[in-house]
Structure 1
Amino acid sequence: MKRHASLLLLLLAVLAGGVIPAAAQDGVGPWVKAGQVEARLVSAVRGTGTLTALPLGLELRLEPGWKTYWRSPGDAGFAPRLDWSGSGNLAEATLSYPAPHRFSVLGFETAGYDTAVLFPIQGKPAEPGKPVDLALTAELLVCSDICVPQTLKLALALPEGPADPSDAANDVARAQALVPRGPNGLLRIDAVRATGITLEVEATAADGFVSPDLFVETEPPLTFSAPKTVFSDNDRHVRLTLTVTEPQPGLELAGRALTLTLVDGEKAVEAPATASAGGALSVPAGTGLAAMLGVALLGGLILNLMPCVLPVLSLKLMSVVKHGGRAPAAVRAGFLASAAGILTSFLLMASVLVGVKAAGGAVGWGIQFQQPLFLVFMVVLVTLFSANLWGLFEVPLPRVLADRLGGEGLAGPFATGMFATLLATPCSAPFLGTAVGFALSKGPVEVYAIFAALGVGLALPYLAVAAWPRVAGWLPRPGRWMATLKIVLGFALMLTAVWLLTVLTAQIGEVASATVGLLMAGLVLALWIGRSARGAARTAGPALAGLLAVAAFAMPAVVGPSAGAAPVVSDAKTRWVPFVESAIREHVAAGRIVFVDVTADWCITCQANKKLVLDRDEVAKRMEDPSLVAMQADWTRPDATIAKFLADHGRYGIPFNIVYGPGAPYGIALPELLSDGAVLEALNKAAGQGTGKGV
Structure 2
Amino acid sequence: MAAFLAFFLALSPVYFGAGSAAAQPPPGASPWVDEGASPWVEEGESKVRLIAAATTVDEGDSVSLGLELRMEPGWKIYWRSPGDAGLPPQVDWSGSANLAAVEISWPAPRRYSAYGLETVGYEKKVVLPVTARPQSQSQALALKARVDYLTCKEVCIPRRVNLAFDLPAGAGEPTSFAPLISRYRALVPGPHEDGEMAVERMEALGAGDKTRLRVTARSDRPFGSLDVFVEGPPGFWAGAPKLRVLAGGRVAVLTMAAGTGSVSAQRESKSVPLVGMPLTVTLVESSVESDVDSEFSPARALETRLVVAAGTETSGLGGFAWILAIALLGGLILNLMPCVLPVLSLKLLGVIGHGGGETGAVRRSFLATSAGILFTFMVLASLAAGLRMAGLSVGWGIQFQQPIFLAAMAVVLTLFACNLWGFFEIPLPGWMGDLALRYSGHSQGRPHSLEGQFLTGVFATLLATPCSAPFLGTAIGFALARGAGETYAVFAALGLGFAAPYLVIVAAPQLAVQLPRPGPWMVSLRRLLSLALALTALWLLSVLAAQLSVDATAFVAALLVALGVVLWGQAGEKPRFAMPRSVLRMAAVLLVVATPLAPGYFEETSLPPPQSGDDLWQPFARAAIPSLVASGRVVLVDVTAEWCLTCQVNKKLALDRGEVTRMIDNGGITAMRADWTRRDDDIAAYLAGFGRFGIPFNVVYGPATPRGMVLPELLTPARVADAVSRARALSE
Normalising by structure 1, we get a TM-score of 0.66
CA gap of 1:285–1:612, structure 2 versus 1, over 3 A, is farther
Q: Secondary structure at the match of 1:636?
A: coil
Query: Do structure 1's residue 478 and structure 2's residue 503 form an aligned pair?
Result: no
**1:369 and 1:210, CA in 2 relative to 1: closer, same or farther beyond 3 A?**
same
User: Is 1:531 aligned to 2:543, yes or no?
Assistant: no
1:525-549 per-residue CA deviation (whole Å, 9 max, x = no partner) reads 1011112335962222221122223
Deviations 1:138-161 (A, max 9, x none): xxxxx9969xxxxxxxxxxxxxxx
2:480 is matched with which residue?
Answer: 440
Question: Could you report, residue by residue, the CA deviation over 1:183-213 in whole angstroms, capped at 9, with x for unpaired residues?
Answer: 5xxxxx8878959xxx898999895752234
Alignment pair present for 1:212 and 2:228: yes
Whether the 8 Å contact between 1:193 and 1:201 is mirrored in structure 2 is no
1:493 pairs with 2:533: yes
Aligned partner of 1:679: which letter?
A: V
Cα distance 1:253–1:209, how it changes in 2: closer, same or farther (>3 A)?
farther
* 1:19-98 aligned within 5 A: none
1:227 aligns with 2:239: yes
Residue in structure 2 matched with residue 28 of structure 1 by the alignment: none
CA distance in 2, matches of 1:551, 1:336: 33
For the 8 Å contact 1:356–1:362, the answer to whether it is kept is: yes
SS at match of 1:632: strand
Equivalent residue number for residue 274 of structure 2: 259
Of residues 270, 283, 293, the one that matches 2:313 is: 283
2:465 matched residue in structure 1: 425
What's 1:360 paired with?
Answer: 391
Question: Is the CA contact (8 Å cut-off) linking 1:441 and 1:650 kept in structure 2?
Answer: yes
- Matched residue, 1:518: 558
Letter in 2 for 1:211: D
Aligned partners of 2:327, 2:670: CA distance in 1, in Å? 34
Q: Does 1:296 align with 2:332?
A: no
The answer to whether the aligner puts 1:669 opposite 2:710 as a matched pair is: yes
Partners of 1:471 and 1:567 lie apart in 2 by 51
Which residue type is aligned with residue 580 of structure 2? Answer: A
Does structure 1 conserve the Cα–Cα contact (< 8 Å) formed by 2:260 and 2:266? Answer: no
* Structure 1 residue aligned with 2:597: 554
**Structure 2 counterpart of 1:671, one-letter code:** P
Q: How does 1:92-491 map to 2 (within 5 A)?
A: 181-182=201-202, 194=209, 210-213=226-229, 222=235, 224=237, 227=239, 253=267, 258-259=273-274, 264-265=283-284, 266=302, 283=313, 288-393=319-424, 394=427, 395-396=433-434, 408-491=448-531
Distance in 1 (CA, whole Å) between partners of 2:147 and 2:519 is 91
C-alpha distance in 1 between matches for 2:387 and 2:118: 45
| Structure showing greater relative contact order (alpha-carbon pairs closer than 8 Å, 6 or more residues apart) | 1
For 1:675 and 1:313, the matched residues in 2 are separated by 25
CA contact (8 A) 1:216 1:259 kept: no
* Cα distance change on mapping 1:418 and 1:201 into 2, 3 Å: same
Contact 2:201 / 2:217 at 8 angstroms: preserved in 1? no
Contact 2:647-2:696 within 8 A present in 1 as well: yes
Question: Residues of 2 paired with 1:300 and 1:520: CA distance?
Answer: 32
| Residue of structure 2 equivalent to 1:505 | 545
d(CA) in 2 for partners of 1:108, 1:539? 75
Indicate which of 528, 531, 545 corresponds to 2:588: 545
For 2:684 and 2:539, how far apart are their aligned partners in 1? Answer: 24
Partner of 2:14: none
**In the superposition, relative to structure 1, how do residues 629 and 480 fare at CA in structure 2: closer, same or farther (>3 Å)?**
same
Among 563, 584, 609, the alignment partner of 1:568 is 609
Which of 611, 625, 628 is 1:584 aligned to? 625
Mapped contact 1:531–1:538 kept (Cα < 8 A): no
Asked if structure 2 preserves the Cα contact closer than 8 Å seen for 1:594 and 1:628, the reply is: yes
Q: Tell me the percent identity.
A: 42
Measure how far apart 1:338 and its partner are: 0.9
Q: Deviations over 1:497-536 (max 9, x none)?
A: 0000000101111111012112111111101111233596
1:263 Cα deviation from its structure 2 partner: 5.8
State the AA in 2 paired with 1:639. D
The whole-number CA distance in structure 2 between the counterparts of 1:588 and 1:243 is: 30
Cα offset, 1:171, TM superposition? 7.7
Q: Is the 8 A contact 1:380 1:549 kept in 2?
A: yes
Shift of 1:326: 1.2
1:630 matched to 2:645? The reply is no
Aligned-pair CA distance for 1:292: 0.8
- How far the C-alpha of 1:589 sits from its partner, in A, is 2.7
Closer, same or farther: CA 407–618 of 1 in aligned 2, 3 Å: closer
Name the amino acid aligned to 1:259: L
Q: Quote the residue 2:179 is aligned against.
A: none
Moved more, 230-239 or 367-376: 230-239
- Cα distance 1:429–1:108, how it changes in 2: closer, same or farther (>3 A)? closer
Q: Tell whether the 8 Å contact from 1:271 to 1:283 is kept in structure 2 after alignment.
A: no
CA contact (8 A) 2:481 2:691 kept: yes
Question: 5+ unaligned residues in a row in structure 2: which ranges?
Answer: 1-62, 68-77, 89-107, 122-127, 131-145, 150-189, 285-301, 428-432
Q: 1:193 to 1:469 in 2, by over 3 A?
A: farther
Helix, strand or coil for the counterpart of 2:718?
helix
**Does the Cα contact within 8 Å between 2:191 and 2:303 map onto a contact in 1?**
no
SS at match of 1:360: coil
Write the distance in 2 (CA, Å) between the matches of 1:557 and 1:108.
53
Aligned to 2:56: none
Matched-pair contact (CA < 8 Å) for 1:530–1:540: no
Structure 2 CA distance, aligned partners of 1:314 and 1:192?
Answer: 50
User: Once superposed, what is the RMSD of the aligned Cα atoms?
Assistant: 4.6
SS class of match (1:288) = helix
Q: Which amino acid aligns with 1:675?
A: T
After TM superposition, give the deviation of residue 373 of structure 1 in Å. 0.2
Pair 376,108 (structure 1): closer, same or farther in 2 beyond 3 Å:
closer
In structure 1, the residue corresponding to 2:673 is in which secondary structure?
strand
| Contact 2:202 2:309 (C-alpha < 8 Å) held by counterparts | no
Q: What's the offset of the Cα at 1:270?
A: 7.2
Task: Give the secondary structure class of the aligned counterpart of 2:708.
Answer: strand
Partner SS for 2:723 = helix
- Amino acid in structure 1 at the alignment position of 2:373: I
- In structure 1, distance between residues paired with 2:554 and 2:193: 47
How far is 1:254 from its partner? 6.7
* C-alpha distance in structure 1 between counterparts of 2:538 and 2:194, whole Å: 46
Partner Cα separation in structure 1 for residue 491 and residue 592 of structure 2: 31
> Could you tell me how far apart the structure 2 residues matched to 1:204 and 1:172 are?
16
The 3 A distance-change label for structure 1 pair 674 and 545 is same
Residues 583-625 of structure 1 show CA distances to partners (whole Å, capped at 9, x for unaligned) of: 1122223332221111000000000000001122212211212
CA 429–144 in structure 1, closer or farther in 2 if over 3 Å, else same: farther
Higher CA-based Rg: 2
Do 2:314 and 2:323's aligned partners in 1 also have CA atoms closer than 8 Å?
A: no
The 3-state SS of whatever aligns with 2:729 is: coil
Q: Which amino acid aligns with 1:386?
A: A
Q: CA deviation digits over 1:375-401, x for unaligned, max 9?
A: 000000000111111221244589xxx
Change (3 A) 1:223 1:465: same
Aligned CA distance change for structure 1 residues 103 and 525 (closer, same or farther; 3 Å):
closer
Contact 2:638 2:672 in 1 (8 A): yes
